[in-house]
Chain A
Amino acid sequence: MTYFFGNKTQIGDSLDRVESRQKVTGSARYAAEYNLPGVTFGVLVTSTIAKGRIRHLDTKAAEAAPGVLAIVSHLNAPKVPGFQDPVDNEGSRVHGQEFRLFHDERIYHNFQPVALAIADTFERATYAASLVKVEYEQEQHQTNIHQNKGKAIKPARGNDYARGKADTYKTAAVKIEQEYQTPIQVHVPMEMHAATAVWEGATKLTVYNKTQATKISQQEICKAFQLKPEDVEVHSPFVGGAFGSSSRVWPQEMAAILGSKVVGRPVKVMLKRDQVFNMVGYRPKSLQKVGLGATADGTLTGITHEAISFTSTYEQFTERLIDPTKSLYRCPNLNTLYRLVPLDYSTPCWTRGPGETSGSFALESAMDELAYALNMDPLALRLKNFAEKDPFNDKPWSSNFLRECYQLGAERFGWSKRNPKPGAMQKNGMLVGMGMAAGIYKSERSKADARATLQPDGKVLVQSAVADVGPGSATIFTQIAADTLGVDASQIQFEWGNSTLPDAPGQFGSHTTASVGSAVYDVCVALKQKVADMAVSQKGTTLYQAAAHDLVWEADAISLKGSEKKVLYTDLLKNQQLQAVQVNVESKGGEEQEKHSGKSFCANFVEVEVHPVTGQVRVSRVVSVVDAGTIINHKTAESQVYGSVVWGIGIALMEDAIVDHRYGRHLNNDLADYRVPVNADIPNIDVIFINKKDTVIDPMGAKGIGEIPLVGFTAAVANAVFHATGKRIRELPIVPDKLV
C-alpha cells in the first residue's frame, strides 16, 4: 500500500508491516546475527542422561583443540550471585528453583547443558564440544506420566475451583464421562534459541537475545548477576518465532553471558535443533477426565473436569487447563482438579494458549459427545448453554459476541447442510466430516509506559520496550499513533524491542494490543495536548489564546479547526528553543475493567476428509469466527488467526514429541520426525471478525487475538473426524493408526 502526504491512517486499515522491507530483504537481524567485532562462538555440550550427576568432566582435549578459547562448565564457571541465594518465590512467575546453568554436578533432565565450548570459529567450537568427555553417575529417572500418576501433587499455586455441588453430572438425565489426552507439543520456532552477550568491564552487559519481553529478560539477568538495570541492555527487535518459548531467560543467554565473562569477548550461542526440545520449554502432556450432565433438553446441570499434567523436579510450571471450563458455559455445578507430576524433564513453558489449548480439547470434545448422547445439534447445545455473564465470578462480560460467532460461522460454513449421522457424508471416495467448537480466552490490559517525541519536521517517534515476535505489534502501534493524531502512518516512527525503552509487559497472554496500544494512545493524546498548550500560549503566533481543544494535529503543523490559522512545528519549537517535544505516560486500565470479565471468543468450523482405507485425515476447510473487539489491522489480524489454525491442525493431526522412557530422551527431536504442518497440509482458511468495539478494556476497543482462535480448535477437528468416521479419538494427535 502506498501512502501519500496528507493521507490519514486509521484503525482498521490493512497497513503493510512497518518492518516488512527488512524482513523480505534479509536485513532484519536476529539474536545470532550481530557479528560484533571479535565475536566468538559457543556450542553447548548437553547431557545424555535424564537424572544423576556428573562424576567426571574431562575438558583437556577440548581445551587443546585449535582455536579454543575456553571450556566453561560447573568446574570453572564464574559464580552467579543470584544462584547462591536461597529460593525466593516472591513475585516469581514459576514456583520453585530456577535451573542454574553450570551451578553444580546435578543432572535434572536429558539435554541439560553441562559445558560450553568457546572458540574463534563456529566449526572449531563445534569440534571442541565433541571432545568434551562426560562421565555420569546415573540415577533411575522417571519420565512417564502414566507410571507416575500416583506421585501427582497439588501445585503450590492454585486451588481447585468449584461451584455448586460436586460431581452432579453423575446423577443427570443424560451424561457422559470420558478421558482425554494431549501430547507434548514443542514450540519449535524457526529460529533456534540464541543469544549474543558482551561485557563492558565488570558491570556493564549487553545481551542480544530472542525474547518476548526485553524488560523481563533485563530483570532476570539483573537478579542473577546482581547488576543495576541501567547497566544491562537487552536488545531484541527481531524474534524468529517464540509462541511462549521466549518468555524466560534460558541457558543460551546464561551461557553467552558466562562465556563472555570468561573469554572477555562477545560470545554467540545458538542451540542446535535437538536441544530446543528439552531445554527451552514445551507444552506438557495432559491426562484429563471430563464429566458432563444435562437435562433431556440439553441444559447443563453439572461439569467435572480433572487434569493431570507434569512439570520438572525443580519447578512447578502451572497452566490454565481448567480455565475455559470455568467460564464458557452456564452451569450451576462445577468441580475441577489440577495436579502436577514432577518428572525428570526440563521445566515446561507457556505455549500458545497455555492450558486453554489442552483443556478446551477435552471440554469441547465432551460437549460434542454430549450432543450426540442428547441427539441434539452440537451448535444448538452450545447456544442452549450460552453464559449471559461469566459464571466463574458472576461479572458481566466486557463484551461477548459468541452468539454472533456461532451464527456467522454456521452460515459461511454451511452447517445446516450437515447430516449429523456419522459416516453419512462422502465426497470423491473420501469420508467427509464437519465439526465445530467454541473458544474463550482471557483479554486483559496490563500496565504499560510509552514515550512520544515530536520532531521539528512533524515526525513523531513513539517508543516502547515491547517485543514484536510476529503478531505485527509494531505496525498496529504505528497505526494507533497515526489514528490518534490524525496523520498518515509515514509520520510515525515506532521503536521497540529494547530494554532501555519505556516499560512494557511481555508479549504473551494476548494482552499486548490492549496494554501497549493503550499506552501509545494515551501518549499521543498527551503529546497533542502538550503541543496544543504550547501553541496557544506562544505570544505572537496566529494561535495565541485559541482554545487548545479546537486545535487539529497535522503532518507539519498544528492548526485551528475550520480556519487557515496554523503554527508549523518547526516554528513552535524554534520559538521556545527546543529540539523536540517529548512526553512520557504510564498507562493502565481503570476500575471498569475490574468490574467486568474480559474475554475474547471464537467459533471454529472445520471440515475434514478421511481416507476410508488408510485413515489419513486432511483438513479441507476452516471457517474461524473471532470476537476480538475492534480489529486494528485486518491484514495482520487475519495472519494471527491463520497462525492459530495452523497450530490447531498441527496439534490435532501430527505434533507429538515422543520420549523413549528407557532413556528419558526424545526420539523425534528434529523437524523431519517431529512433524509440523507444511504448506500442503493447510487448506484455505476463512476468517471472519465480529469487529465490534469492547467498551471496557481499552480505548481502541480491542481484545486479545493471538491465542483465541486456537482454543477449542483441536476439538473441532476431532469432532469432524468423529462425524466422518464414527470413531471418537480422545488422544491427540489423530494419526492414521488410531483410525484404521
Chain B
Amino acid sequence: MAEEKACNASSPDAEANRQHNEARRDFLKQSSILTALALAPATVLKAADSKWDEKVAEKFEKVPLTLEINGKKVQLSVEPRVTLLDLLREQLDLTGTKKGCDYGQCGACTVHSDGERINACLTFAVMQEGKKITTIEGLADGEKLHPMQEAFVKHDGFQCGYCTPGQIMSAVACIREGHANSEDEIREYMSGNICRCGAYSNIVNAITEVKNGGQKV
C-alpha cells in the first residue's frame, strides 16, 4: 500500500473532510475497540493512539473473508465495499472474469457461487463468506478443457472473447439448472449474457451439443 497524502487543514473543505474522516475513524476505533480489546494485541491499540490511526483504521476497515476459489481455500482481508468482481480481477489476478457494465446488466462477470450462476459485480465479496466460487480459470481439469469450453471453440461461440467466460459459466449453469431442453429455452436462459459481436447462434449450438452429448457438466 502506498503512503497517503496529508490533509491540508487550512482549507474549509479539507477541514470538513478531515472531520468527516475523523468521525469515521473515531467510530471505527470505538466500535472496533470493544471487539478488538479481546482480540487485538495491546500494541495495536497503542499504535492507534500515536497517529497510526489511518493505518490501523485501514486494518479495521478490512473484514476477514474466507472463500474457496476454484477449489482452493483463500483467507483474505478485504474492504467491505469491494465487489466479488473487483476482488477477483484486481486483488487475486483472476482476470478471466470480465467487467462489462458493473450493474448486473451484461453477464460478463458470471461466476458460480456454490454451483449457482451469479453476477460477480452485484455481490460484495464479503457476502460470499464461506462460499465455493468457481471462475472460468477453474473450469478446465488441468490442461483438459471442460466440454463447454471445447464446444465453444468448435462452434466459434465467440469473436472478441470478452463476454466468453461469462457465457461459458452461464452455459454450464444453464444445463445444470435443466434449462437447456430446446434451442428456444437456451436462448431465453442465456439472454442475461450479452454478446455484442453476435455469436448467439454459435453459443446455442455449443450448448445444444454439450447437452445432447450427455457429458457431465
Contact = CB atoms under 8 A, between A and B. Distances in A.
Interface of A: 1, 16-17, 19-30, 32-33, 35, 40-41, 58, 60-61, 63-69, 120-123, 131, 133, 187-192, 238-243, 270, 272-273, 469-472, 635-636, 638-640, 642-647, 670-672, 676-682, 684-685
Interface string B159-197: 111111100100000000000000010111011111111
Given A24-B158, A470-B160, 4 more contacts: A24-B145, A40-B2, A121-B79, A680-B187
Nearest to B11: A60
A123 B82 contact: yes
B23 interface: no
B105 to A, nearest CB: 4
Which of A27, A191, A681 has the most chain B CB within a 10 Å cutoff?
A191
Interface in B103-134: 103, 105-106, 108
Contact of A60 (B14, B152, B160, B201): B14
Contact of B145 (A19, A21, A58, A67): A21
A238 B11 contact: no
Contact of B198 (A120, A192, A677): A677
A17 B153 contact: yes
Given A29-B95, A189-B196, A671-B106, A240 B156 contact: no
Contacts of B1: 67, 120
A27 B96 contact: yes
Given A64-B18, A273-B102, A273-B103, A241 B160 contact: yes
A40 B153 CA distance: 35
A684 B204 CA distance: 10
Interface in B63-87: 79, 81-82, 86
Contacts of A63: 5, 8
B101 interface: yes
Given A27-B96, A636-B156, A238 B198 contact: no
A670 to B, nearest CB: 6
Interface residues of B, number: 75
A270 B186 CA distance: 32
Contact of B159 (A60, A61, A639, A676): A639
Given A24-B152, A471-B159, A123 B4 contact: no
A45 B160 CA distance: 28
Contact of A21 (B8, B97, B153, B163): B153
Given A636-B156, A639-B159, A33 B196 contact: no
Contact of A672 (B18, B79, B102, B105): B105
Contacts of A681: 191
A64 B159 contact: no
B49 interface: no
A644 B199 CA distance: 10
Contacts of A28: 161
B98 A240 contact: yes
B103 A191 contact: no
Question: Taking chain B's interface residues, is the majority helix, strand, or loop, or is none over half, making it mixed?
Answer: loop
A192 B54 CA distance: 34
29 contacts: A1-B154, A16-B156, A23-B164, A24-B136, A25-B136, A60-B13, A61-B16, A64-B8, A64-B14, A64-B17, A65-B17, A66-B4, A67-B2, A190-B197, A192-B99, A240-B160, A240-B161, A241-B159, A273-B101, A273-B102, A639-B198, A642-B202, A643-B159, A671-B101, A671-B106, A677-B200, A678-B194, A679-B187, A682-B200
B201 A241 contact: no
A472 B201 CA distance: 17
A679 B14 contact: no
Nearest to B138: A26
Contacts of B164: 23-24
A682 B198 CA distance: 9
B190 to A, nearest CB: 5
Contact of A642 (B4, B161, B191, B201): B201
Contacts of B4: 66-68
- 5 tightest A-B CB contacts, nearest first: A26-B96, A240-B162, A646-B198, A23-B161, A470-B159
A263 B158 CA distance: 38
Contacts of B149: 24-25
A643 B197 contact: yes
Nearest to A29: B95
B38 interface: no
A28 B21 CA distance: 40
Nearest to B7: A64
Which of A238, A646, A685 has the most chain B CB within a 10 Å cutoff?
A646
Nearest to A239: B160
B68 to A, nearest CB: 18
B162 A191 contact: yes
Nearest to B160: A470
A63 to B, nearest CB: 6
B214 to A, nearest CB: 21
Contact of B79 (A19, A35, A64, A123): A123
A40 B21 CA distance: 22
Contacts of A644: 198
A243 B159 CA distance: 12
Contacts of B108: 190
B156 A17 contact: yes
Which of B106, B137, B203 has the most chain A CB within a 10 Å cutoff?
B106
B58 interface: yes
B212 to A, nearest CB: 17
B42 interface: no
Nearest to A622: B201
Contacts of B153: 16-17, 20-21, 24
